[in-house]
Structure 1
Amino acid sequence: MTAHRSTFASLMVWVCALVFAPMLSGCSPQIIKHGHQFRQSDIQQIQPGMSQEQVKLQLGSPATTATVNNGQAYYYISSTMTQAAFLKEKEVDRKILAVYFNPLGTVEQVAHYGMKDGKVFDYISRTTPAPGGRDDGILKQLFRNLGTRQLYGE
């Protein structure tokens, strides 16, 4: 009888492990990378005096460009996000490689920026502002016109 009970208990442990292991593994965070992913050797080959075309051949098209001090600037942006199960993504690292060109179109300076160097802001806030710039609660919105005297559209 005890041999049967211990066999049943060990079988239940294995069944529980097989059922809960996939569920728990779904909770482990996923690492998601966006943007340009560079090797250090690619970045080290960018030297002052290179043309814009040589930089594009080495690194690819920039994520964005800008005009800075009468010259161009190329920005290569990469970010690393983590997401656990159904939770919202969280940015854990951001790297920006900025290549500044002089007015003649040759590399003047290469700079590296990270999350500590900039202000993090949300491009898409996923919220719609309320009319009039105020954020009324649901009850206030429902009962807003209760005290007004507008009978039959007069």
Structure 2
Amino acid sequence: MRRIAGAAILALALTGCGVGETYTRGQKITPDQLEQVPVGSSREQVLLALGTPTTTGLTDGEAFYYISQTATRSFAYQRATVQDRRILVVYLDDNGEVREMAEYGMKDGKVFDYLARRTPTGGSDLAFVSQLLGGLINPAL
């Protein structure tokens, strides 16, 4: 009887661990939100539509960085594995208006702009984005 009860408890405990989990950190920007901030939009419009950026920077004007990451794990005791990491950058000109937007991620091991559908070629901003994409740790969840 004890063996049956022990086996039942063990089976119940293992089924709880076998549930896959997906975690999203940061802010996933939707296409609807992006439509609300076309080129020429004001700084205030950006903040209203997209919210407070994860971080900001100065690159030929001001830049807002919205960073998000999706991670999964199969079992509760496992460390989560990053599946996707994206950085939406809204570039503002000296007048505080949107001059360009880019959504960076990794594709085939290289930084890729998913909005323009191209691989960027260089610049100080690209170096910063590359560090963010490759340098974020994979936290245990």
Task: Tell me if both proteins adopt one fold, taking TM over 0.5 as the criterion.
Answer: yes
Alignment-mate amino acid for residue 135 of structure 2: F
Quote the Cα distance in structure 1 between the aligned partners of 2:9 and 2:31: 43
1:38 paired residue number: 29
Quote the Cα distance in structure 2 between the aligned partners of 1:18 and 1:79: 35
Stretches of structure 2 that go unaligned for 5 or more consecutive residues are 112-129
2:67 paired residue number: 77
* CA deviation map 1:51-102 (0-9, x unaligned): 1111001110000100001x00001111101123212121111121110011
CA drift of 1:46 comes to: 1.3
| Larger strand fraction of residues | 2
Count how many residue pairs are aligned between Structure 1 and Structure 2. Answer: 111
- Please say which structure displays the higher CA radius of gyration: 1
Quote the Cα distance in structure 2 between the aligned partners of 1:62 and 1:121: 19
Quote the Cα distance in structure 1 between the aligned partners of 2:36 and 2:99: 14
**Secondary structure of the corresponding residue to residue 120 of structure 1:** helix
**Secondary structure of the corresponding residue to residue 96 of structure 2:** coil
CA drift of 1:122 comes to: 4.4
**Secondary structure of the corresponding residue to residue 66 of structure 1:** strand
Alignment-mate amino acid for residue 80 of structure 2: E
Stretches of structure 1 that go unaligned for 5 or more consecutive residues are 1-11, 126-154
- After superposition, the Cα gap between the structure-2 partners of 1:77 and 1:23, relative to the gap in structure 1 and judged at 3 Å, is same
Quote the Cα distance in structure 2 between the aligned partners of 1:104 and 1:40: 25
1:86 paired residue number: 77
Identity %: 32
1:121 paired residue number: 135
* CA deviation map 1:83-136 (0-9, x unaligned): 2321212111112111001111100001111133135124599xxxxxxxxxxx
Alignment-mate amino acid for residue 84 of structure 2: D
Quote the Cα distance in structure 2 between the aligned partners of 1:67 and 1:90: 31
Quote the Cα distance in structure 1 between the aligned partners of 2:11 and 2:81: 26
If the length of structure 2 is used for normalisation, what is the TM-score?
Answer: 0.68
CA drift of 1:26 comes to: 1.3
Bigger CA drift: 84-93 or 50-59? Answer: 84-93
